[in-house]
Amino acid sequence: MNSLILPATRSTPGVWFEPEAGRFELTGNSIPENANEFYQPVIEWLANHLHDLKGAQVMDFHLSYFNSTSLKAIYQLLKQIKESCTMGATIRVRWFAEDDDELLVETVAMLSEMLDMPMEILPANEDKLKAIG
């Protein structure tokens, strides 16, 4: 199965979807000028490959900041994950947040409620975030 790897830039998150390694991760900031353009290949990859994954998978979000247009695209990405789960995939979604990032915690809770989809919120690994910045 093909991997999807997009290195992080100043305005886009790094995307590591490596099925063979069991790594599904978005890391960094998401403030692209055109979030739909950036996220469309990510959403298409999920639509084309999630049903082929064997066993339980974990999708990790290490997004330290994202703008409102990215939020819409992230919602679509999560919606694709939910649709795949209703068709038999087993995917656990984890968000990593700083202890004092109330806005992110509230946003993830809102997304979870809107999609009727459980999402874990875990403490951010500062070393991982520092390596990106």
Domains and CATH numbers, the chain: 4-132 (3.30.750)
Q: Digits of tens for pLDDT over the chain (133 positions)?
A: 789 999 999 999 999 999 888 889 999 999 999 999 999 999 999 999 887 777 889 999 999 899 999 999 999 999 999 988 888 778 899 999 988 899 999 999 999 999 999 999 999 865 454 444 4
Is the full-model pTM beyond 0.85? yes
Q: Measuring CA to CA, how many Å separate 19 from each of 1, 9, 34, 38, 106?
A: 7, 23, 27, 21, 30
